[in-house]
Amino acid sequence: MEKISRTKIVDLLKREDFGATVNVKGWVRTRRGSKQVNFIALNDGSTINNVQVVVDLASFSEDLLKDVTTGACVSINGILTESVGSGQKAEIQASDIELLGACDNTYPLQKKGHTLEFLREIAHLRPRTNTFGAVFRIRHNMAMAIHTYFHQKGFFYFHTPIITASDCEGAGQMFQVTTKNLYDLKKDETGSIIYDDDFFGKQASLTVSGQLEGELAATALGAIYTFGPTFRAENSNTPRHLAEFWMIEPEVAFNDITDNMDLAEDFIKYCVRWALDNCSDDIKFLNDMFDKGLIERLQSVLKESFVRLPYTEGINILEAAVANGRKFEFPVYWGVDLASEHERYLVEEHFKRPVILTDYPKEIKAFYMKQNEDGKTVRAMDVLFPKIGEIIGGSERESDYDKLAKRIEELQIPSKDMWWYLDTRKFGTCPHAGFGLGFERLLLFVTGMANIRDVIPFPRTPRNADF
């Protein structure tokens, strides 16, 4: 076959130089037609849209065409022509077809209309579907939006370690990293495992958050963000939790809690706007297929300013709702760690727009948050979103050495692990604040998908690490 440089379908469908000779390569979605002419719908992943290839059967051998089945990979040379019936402006009149890879009839994606649950079982093939093609193109676009946003604002992308010896959130949900022989663990007199002879000479884990190291950088470079994988061994089998997820954590010197809220709101709106501007074909597809309210919800988030409300007032609203007969699965009282049903009540039913809840009880938040004068609450902020619940968690940080050291002691966090963190408060401490956005929670919102397993290529959840 004559070598012609390949055009991606996304570019080809925009071309109007009809009559040109072109080459496309991709995977056959469908082939249909009559005895004289066949139509191949070809997709190469560059866009949700297929290009229609018209095949005059008289010019091709039956032997070749019998292998051009759904899922097969082909390279096609042909003439770009104006299309009348394909739903696109351009189509291709095939002059040469090369079979790059045949696809036999055991290919599980031949029929349309598979459930998302079934597609999770074939996660190695699901990127070939329209739905997952759309989701993963949007995922890429959101990553670009995030880097662009922070770069333009003068933040530095800072790489924090994935292997760590400290527990940032103090929730004890860490996966251990070891080269020890698990069948022959040496223990001391008290029964504790000896780690001296382990790879790092101490107990090590996969990080739950890059924040603590991010703070070291923010108090030197001024404004940084991290964007990397984080790991939580929490045994929660929900549509919103993963054991391995990606988090974006900006951290800014001299920001207080209000600056932090302003940044979170501006940042998330920028990402949503980027999706509407750059992923319109994919979002329209997901809107039509899965979630008829998606585009409207994305647009409405851009229009409204987020509600900002202390936790205590949020509890008052929830208690009033309960008094009026609203039923929740979990109880509501001051001090409770809100369940996602509570968060969604505030957002979807009470305020009908995103809510930033602040000043949570210190008992349910991490040790590093700035303590309020009342002695009971900390300067935390959670951004709550429709359909998602918590999408961002953050705070102004405790910058006072004594208060922070006291809190670390109260919570019995081993200070031998924290000396380097405390040093930032000893040497030129400064007010600072930051937050973490769960990348997959953002993607749930932007794609309208209902299960977090469907917005990451290879989800890791309890009892599932396939592919």
Which position's Cβ is nearest Mg ion? 393
Nearer to Mg ion, 393 or 448 (CB): 393
According to DSSP, the β-strands at 223-231 and 432-438 are: unpaired
CB closer to ligand 4AD, 45 vs 170: 170
What is the nearest approach in angstroms of ligand 4AD to the Cβ of residue 209? 4
CB 358 within 8 A of CB 341: no
Q: Which residues contact 98 (CB under 8 A, 6 or more apart)?
A: 1, 74, 75, 76
- Which residue(s) pair with 390 in the sheet? 384
Quick check: 294 and 261 in contact, CB under 8 A? no
Q: Which is nearer to ligand 4AD, 137 or 441 (CB)?
A: 441
The partner in contact with residue 211, picked from Mg ion, ligand 4AD, none with C-beta cut-offs of 5 to 8 angstroms by kind, is ligand 4AD
320 CB contacts (<8 Å, ≥6 apart)?
none
Partner interacting with residue 27 (select from ligand 4AD, Mg ion, none; CB below 5-8 Å by kind): none
Interaction between residue 389 and Mg ion (CB under 5 A): no
Shortest Å, Cβ 92 to ligand 4AD: 43
Give the separation between CA 370 and CA 400, rounded to whole angstroms.
8
Residue 245 interacting entry, from ligand 4AD, Mg ion, none, C-beta within 5 to 8 Å by type: ligand 4AD
Q: Give the pairing of strands 307-310 and 73-82.
A: unpaired
Q: Contact residues for ligand 4AD (CB under 6 A)?
A: 168-169, 209, 211, 232, 234, 241-242, 245, 247, 249, 390-395, 434-436, 438, 440-441
Given the structure tokens 């940044």, which residue do they identify? 263
Which residues between 98 and 157 bind Mg ion (CB under 5 A)?
none
Q: Going by C-beta distance under 8 Å and a sequence separation of 6 or more, which residues neighbour residue 101?
A: 72, 73
Look up residue 385 and give its DSSP letter: E
Residue 393 binds Mg ion, judged by CB under 5 A: yes
Tell me whether residue 71 or residue 393 sits nearer to Mg ion (CB atom): 393
State the Cα torsion 198-200-204-208 to the nearest 10°. Answer: -160
Question: In the complex with ligand 4AD, which residue's Cβ is closer, 168 or 253?
Answer: 168
**Closer CB to ligand 4AD, 91 or 249, in the complex:** 249
The smaller minimum CB distance to ligand 4AD, of residues 338 and 392, is found at 392
Rounded to the nearest whole angstrom, what is the least distance from the CB of residue 392 to ligand 4AD in the complex? 5
77 binds, among Mg ion, ligand 4AD, none (CB under 5 to 8 A by kind): none
Residue 441 interacts with, from ligand 4AD, Mg ion, none (CB under 5-8 Å by kind): ligand 4AD
Q: Does 210 bind Mg ion (CB under 5 A)?
A: no
Helix (H, G, I), strand (E, B), or coil: what is residue 207? coil
> Both tokens of residue 281?
């074909």
The site that binds Mg ion (CB under 5 A) totals a number of residues, namely 1
Q: Which is nearer to ligand 4AD, 234 or 256 (CB)?
A: 234
Q: Which stretch binds Mg ion (CB under 5 A): 86-94, 164-172, 359-367, 387-395?
A: 387-395
CB of 438 to Mg ion, least distance (A): 9
Classified as helix, coil or strand, 155 is coil
User: Taking the complex as a whole, how short is the minimal distance between the CB of residue 350 and Mg ion, in angstroms?
Assistant: 20
If the CB atoms of residues 241 and 387 are measured against ligand 4AD, the closer one turns out to be 241
Helix (H) / strand (E) containing 52: strand 51-56
How far apart (Å, rounded) are the C-alpha atoms in residues 233 and 273?
33
Exposure of 321 in the CB half-sphere (CA atoms within 13 A)? 21
Choice between 90 and 388, CB closer to ligand 4AD = 388
Q: If contact means CB under 5 to 8 A according to the sort of partner, which of Mg ion, ligand 4AD, none does residue 224 touch? A: none
Output b/e per residue, 92-128; b: 16+ Cβ within 10 A.
Answer: bebbebebeeebeeeeebeeeebebeebbeebeebeb
User: Which option in ligand 4AD, Mg ion, none does residue 169 bind, with CB closer than 5 to 8 A by kind?
Assistant: ligand 4AD
**Residue 347 beta carbon to Mg ion: minimum distance, rounded to whole angstroms:** 15
Q: How far is the CB of 150 from ligand 4AD (least distance, A)?
A: 14
- Tell me how many degrees the CA angle 42-43-46 measures, rounded to the nearest 5: 145
Which of ligand 4AD, Mg ion, none lies near 434, with the C-beta cut-off 5 to 8 A by kind?
A: ligand 4AD
The rounded distance, in Å, linking the Cα atoms of 138 and 144 is: 10
Binding site for Mg ion (CB under 5 A): 393
